[in-house]
Structure 1
Amino acid sequence: MELYQTRFAEKLKEALTAVSPTIGIVLLLSFTIAPIPPSILLLLLFGAVLLIIGMMFFTLGAELAMTPVGEKIGTRIANSRNLGIVLLLCFLLGFIITISEPDLQVLAEQVPSVPNAVLILAVAVGVGFFLMIAMLRMLFSKTLRSLLILFYFLVFVLAFFVQDDFLAVAFDSGGVTTGPMTVPFIMALGVGFAAVRSDKHAEDDSFGLVSLCSIGPILAVLLLGLLYHPESTGYAGSEIPVIRDSVELWRYFAAGLPKYIEEIAVSLLPIILFFAVFQMISLKMRGRPLKKIVIGMVYTYVGLVLFLTGVNVGFMPAGNYLGAMIAGLSYRWVLIPIGMVIGYFIVKAEPAVYVLKEQVEEITSGAISGEAMGLSLSLGVSVSIGLAMIRVLTGISIFWFILPGYLIALALSFFVPKIFTAIAFDSGGVASGPMTATFLLPFAMGACEAVGGNIVQDAFGVVAMVAMTPLITIQIMGAVYKYRFAHARAEEALEASYLDIWADDDIIEL
């Protein structure tokens, strides 16, 4: 019990550190250049409390349950000698986990051009298919870079033929698919597969699953755009709630809570059933390890319910209203630097970012620090939100940002260590989680509506931009790492050659 109390205290501190800067920035803006009604402010503050508690439960639950379950299932699947069964199980896992992803539900509800079920099923099939490809890459030790170049080439060829209403949504779907439910499980699955291999590149290859699974939804929605012709693509803005007192505030959250209790139950159920079947047939865990996983599943469920209630009910209206207020100013250009500052801090509150940083530190034995990863992600997201706000103000197509961005990212992959490329492309999907979908996307929508832009074409794409820039910043970190390592090796060689000219007695005397 004392151990759990200590872990809870650690996770609470992490959550407070992550969320406090964003709340502080919003409060500063609300008391200065962008006044917001008391009802919106109350929603934001109460939502922040739920978000912090939810993050605390979720991150601990992911450590106790989602990660170990993913690793164990990955190891057992990889040990199977039947390639057909391996591929079938990978497809089913990808499909099940994607339908379980809360971020995708959030995006689907905000996309006016496609029915929710159609979009979710298309994305789930894309993830399932690409999880099979990712596992084949690991089993046969193929390079990630060549696959990324091939599939992103297909993505951009298709993008030329798809109408603008589908373009931003397609790239957004690639970002939201890899959220708090998907990332811990898929990354752990990769570690489990890598554990079966004994070669020196196995650890490097354990990364890259998230990056490949992010491509599947993009291709699926682009294909959907070629085949599906919706009758209406108009966007209807959401109503701003009016809260008169604390009782109404509680009723508003209480009305939203059952929806997320049911949604997360439906989301987690397939994963729990899959684990239960594996447990009975193959794993056969007993005692404390099994109890730990059950407790972790409960924590994950409670954490996601509280987190999603907080961000959807509390943060979404605040983001929308704040974006509209700032864009309505006579000096609306200030939207760009404000968006960059919010982007820098908001990525720290993404639950899946913690999972990625811990996984990177563990796999690399601390050679790549979580702190350096966090800084690179924050800088990347800051730049991406700045570019997204430029799109909102100018109406420039997302294509002219995404195409050069991915070309730069793929070009950098030729000059940095392989592991940094894999981590970078994984990070893109991880950075674009529920905080992006429920605060930054409504923020862009509110701003776009205020300037009279096309919301579907100009505001959507924020998630895609957030998913793109970390690919560049983390690979730049890899280039710096490579340079420092080479420089240190050169100094060691120089020192060794200098000592070679001395006799042994002289060295001892020295």
Structure 2
Amino acid sequence: MEKLREKVKESLSSVLPITVIVLLLSILLIPMEVGAFSLFLAGAVFLIFGMGFFQLGADISMTQLGQGIGGQLIKKRNLLFIVGGCFLMGVLITISEPDLQVLANQVASIPNRVLVLTVAVGVGIFLVVAVLRILFKISLSRLLTLMYLLLFWVALAAPGEFLAVAFDSGGVTTGPMTVPFIMALGIGLSAARSDKDSANDSFGLIALSSIGPILMVLLLGIFYHPTDAVYTAVTIPDVTTTRDVIDQFLWALPQYTEEVIISMLPILAVFVLFQAATKKYHRKQLFRMCIGFVYTIIGLIMFLVGVNVGFAPVGNLLGEQMVSSSYQWLLIPVGILIGYYIVKAEPAVQLLNHQVEDITDGMVTRGQMNICLSIGVAGAVGLAMIRVLTGIPVYWILIPGYILAIGMSYRVQPIIVGIAFDSGGVASGPMTSTFLLPLTMGACTALGGNVVTDAFGVVALVALAPLIAIQIMGLVYEHKLKKTSRTQEHILEDTIIELEDEEV
């Protein structure tokens, strides 16, 4: 219970700033009905407890399972077994990702099942590529350069109006289900290798796994020739009493409970089969992991209910009313402010930050990661709002951004490259797709813009920002390290000279 209380406190500190921002907007600029704001507050409560349960559950179940499978795969010393196992795990985990369902519902030109399976296969293929990189010690920077060149070459042939949707798919795929497992899988694989570069190579799996969905969805777009992707606007239900608010959440519970349980079934099946085949976990560990899975399920249900019933409708309403008023220009600073705080509310971000601090022995702290990610995402959301107001094509930002990020990857330490590119996939999680996306879509709809080209892409920009921000942090850290080293050398030289003078 103590650990759960600690996780809930962390969640409270993450969600509270966003709640305060919405409250101030509703009081000062955009009057909101009491019923709508009541839904938002109730959603925040669900969100806080959901994140607390999820993070604790993932720590004691998903992370342990990922590390166990990663270590077991590499111990087999059978390349075909490793490739097949990683591909299967990539597909199953992606099918279990709730964020992917959110995106699939927006793309009307392609059946949901086809899109989900296409993205899942993309993750499976590129998870194999990422694992082979670890095994054969291939440079992450060079591999990322090659993959992004291939990606943008394919993008030239894809329909322009489908580009933003494809890049968004890369962001939503690495969500709260996939990140803990893939991160732990990488740590398990690299730890079993046990050489001086193993820590560096434990990062990068999420980065490469994010490329697969983008590439596969672009290819799917070429095949299906989609002309549009319809977004179903989020509406705020008519609530007047406390009972009405409670009813909204009670009605939503069965739907999201079913979704989460169906999503978790493949992972639970893998857990049972893995334990039956390896007998890796003793009885106490098994009981602890089972409790962890229960916590994960409860947390995800509460999180998704809170976000979809409380947060998404208010996000859509804020976007619509802000651009419909005389404060249209405020969309940009408000977006920047929300972006700064919203990344802290992503469950997978906190999991990544903990693992980064552990694997780097404190070289990169959780506080540094949070500040860099917050600044980067704030800038990305600001650019997304500018796109909504001006209609700037998303590739005008994505192409220079990725060129800068890949160029910087040759100047920083390999472990920083892996952390930076992994952070991109992690930052664009459920809060982005269910609060920021409705915000931009509500604003775009009110302005009469093209939702597919002008509003889609916010997830892609959020995923791009940490690539640059974290690597800048790495460059600053290396500069300070060199400066400290030179200072210590000068002190040592002065000490030697003083000792020589004393001897004379």
TM-score bucket (shorter structure): over 0.9
Residue of structure 2 in register with 1:183 after alignment: 179
Residue 233 and residue 62 in structure 1: after superposition, are their counterparts in 2 closer, same or farther (change >3 A)?
A: closer
Q: Does 1:109 align with 2:105?
A: yes
Q: CA deviation at 1:9?
A: 1.6
1:195-235 per-position Cα deviation (integer Å, ceiling 9, x unaligned): 11122110010000000000000001100111013475444
Match of 1:158 among 154, 164, 167: 154
Quote the residue 1:484 is aligned against: 480
Report how many residues are paired: 504
**Separation in 1, partners of 2:502, 2:354:** 47
Q: Counterpart in 2 of 1:261?
A: 257
Are 2:467 and 1:434 aligned? no
Q: Does the residue aligned with 1:180 lie in a helix, a strand or coil?
A: coil
The answer to whether the Cα contact below 8 Å between 1:320 and 1:445 also exists between their aligned partners in 2 is yes
Measure, in 2, the Cα distance between the counterparts of 1:216 and 1:386. 27
- Residue deviations 1:355-403 (CA, integer Å, cap 9, x gap): 0000000001111100000000000000000000010001111010100
Cα separation, 2, equivalents of 1:497 and 1:18: 48
Q: Distance in 2 between matches of 1:89 and 1:320?
A: 41
Q: Deviations over 1:2-24 (max 9, x none)?
A: xxx21112111101000000000
Residues 260, 234 of structure 1: alpha-carbon distance in 2 compared, 3 angstrom cutoff: closer
1:484 and 1:459 map into 2 onto residues whose CA distance is 40
2:271 maps to: 275
5+ long unaligned stretches in structure 2: none
Question: Which of 218, 236, 241 is residue 240 of structure 1 equivalent to?
Answer: 236
- Which residue identity lines up with residue 215 of structure 1 in the other structure? I
1:423 and 2:444 correspond: no
Per mean C-alpha deviation after superposition, the further-off stretch among 109-118 and 293-302 is 109-118
Aligned to 2:190: 194
**2:61 aligned with 1:59:** no
Check whether the contact 2:234–2:312 (CA below 8 A) recurs between aligned residues.
Answer: no
- For the 8 Å contact 1:113–1:165, the answer to whether it is kept is no
Letter in 2 for 1:201: D
SS at structure 2 position matched to 1:29: helix
Specify the alignment match of 1:378 in structure 2. 374
User: TM-score, structure 1 length as denominator?
Assistant: 0.97
Structure 1 CA distance for aligned equivalents of residues 235 and 47 of structure 2:
22
Per the alignment, in what secondary structure is the counterpart of residue 453 of structure 1?
coil
Question: How many Å separate the matches in 2 of 1:58 and 1:233?
Answer: 32
Q: Deviations over 1:306-350 (max 9, x none)?
A: 001100111110000011111112231110010000000011000
Task: Return the offset for 1:151.
Answer: 0.7
Distance 2:107 2:32 in 1: 26
Q: Which residue of 1 aligns with 2:494?
A: 498
Give the CA deviation at 1:499: 1.8
After superposition, the Cα gap between the structure-2 partners of 1:233 and 1:8, relative to the gap in structure 1 and judged at 3 Å, is closer
Shift of the 107–20 alpha-carbon distance from structure 1 to 2, 3 Å rule, reads same
Alignment of 1:82-161 (within 5 A): 82-161=78-157
**Sequence identity percentage:** 53
Residue 331 (str. 1) matches residue 331 (str. 2): no
Q: Partner amino acid for 2:5? A: A
* 1:342 to 2:344 alignment: no
Residues 82-139 of structure 1 deviation map (CA, whole Å, 9 limit, x = unaligned) = 1111100100000000010111111212333322112111110000000000000001
Q: What does the per-residue CA deviation read over 1:170-191, in whole Å, with 9 as the maximum and x for residues that have no partner?
A: 0000001001000000000000
Q: CA deviation at 1:505?
A: 9.6
Q: Which residue identity lines up with residue 216 of structure 1 in the other structure?
A: G
Partner of 1:287: 283
Query: What is the SS of the residue equivalent to 1:381?
Result: helix
Secondary structure in structure 2 of the residue aligned to 1:52: helix
Structure 2 counterparts to residues 439-458 of structure 1, below 5 A = 439-458=435-454
The answer to whether the Cα contact below 8 Å between 1:344 and 1:382 also exists between their aligned partners in 2 is yes
Name 1:78's counterpart in structure 2.
74
3-state SS, counterpart of residue 285 of structure 1: coil
Q: How does 1:389-408 map to 2 (within 5 A)?
A: 389-408=385-404
Deviation, structure 1 residue 303:
0.3
Deviates more, 1:432-441 or 1:291-300: 291-300
Question: Residue 502 of structure 1: SS of its match in structure 2?
Answer: helix
**Corresponding residue of 2:304:** 308
Instruction: State the Cα RMSD in Å.
Output: 1.4
**Residue deviations 1:450-483 (CA, integer Å, cap 9, x gap):** 1110011110111000000110000000000000
Alignment of 1:36 onto 2:32:
yes
Give SS of 1:113's match. coil
Aligned to 1:31, what secondary structure does the other structure show?
Answer: helix
Matches within 5 A, 1:199-214: 199-214=195-210
The reply on whether 1:319 has 2:327 as its aligned counterpart is no
Distance 1:467 1:262 in 2: 29
Alpha-carbon distance between aligned partners in 2 of 1:325 and 1:468, rounded to the nearest angstrom: 28
- The normalised TM-score by structure 2 is 0.98
Alignment partners' CA distance in 2, 1:505 and 1:457: 73
AA at the equivalent of 2:17: P
- For the residue of structure 2 that corresponds to 1:470, the secondary structure is helix
**One-letter identity of the residue aligned with 1:482:** E
CA distance in 2, matches of 1:82, 1:334: 57
